[in-house]
Amino acid sequence: MKSVADITLNSHLQGLSRPKTVPVQQIGDKFGEALKNSIAEVNQAQVSADRAAEQIAAGETKNLHGAMIKLEEADISLRLMVQVRNKAVEAYQEIMRMQV
């Protein structure tokens, strides 16, 4: 007679033998959407930083501290986006160098 633990173990092992498949197009769509959203966020940070710098230059605000924070956030987010792009290009180039 099998114990409850054996049945649970068997059910887990049977679940592992049938991998769940996700259509490639669906994965590509999700990745594309995530990439599009992150680029939009970086763009928004750049626009916000530019606006803050313009307000400081025009004398509309005296919040230099807040403007500098926005400028640094925009700079860091742009640097991160460039590094992600560089890694993606490197990965693509590595795939293209593979022999089939």
pLDDT tens across 54-72, in order? 999 999 988 999 999 999 9
Exposure of 8 in the CB half-sphere (CA atoms within 13 A): 3
Please state, for a pLDDT cut of 90, what percent of the chain lies above it.
Answer: 61
Burial zone of 38 (CB within 10 Å; 0-12 exposed, 13-18 middle, 19+ buried):
middle
Q: What is the pTM of this model?
A: 0.67
Exposure of 2 in the CB half-sphere (CA atoms within 13 A): 8
The pair of structure tokens assigned to 6 is 């054996």
pLDDT tens across 26-54, in order? 777 888 899 899 999 999 999 999 999 99
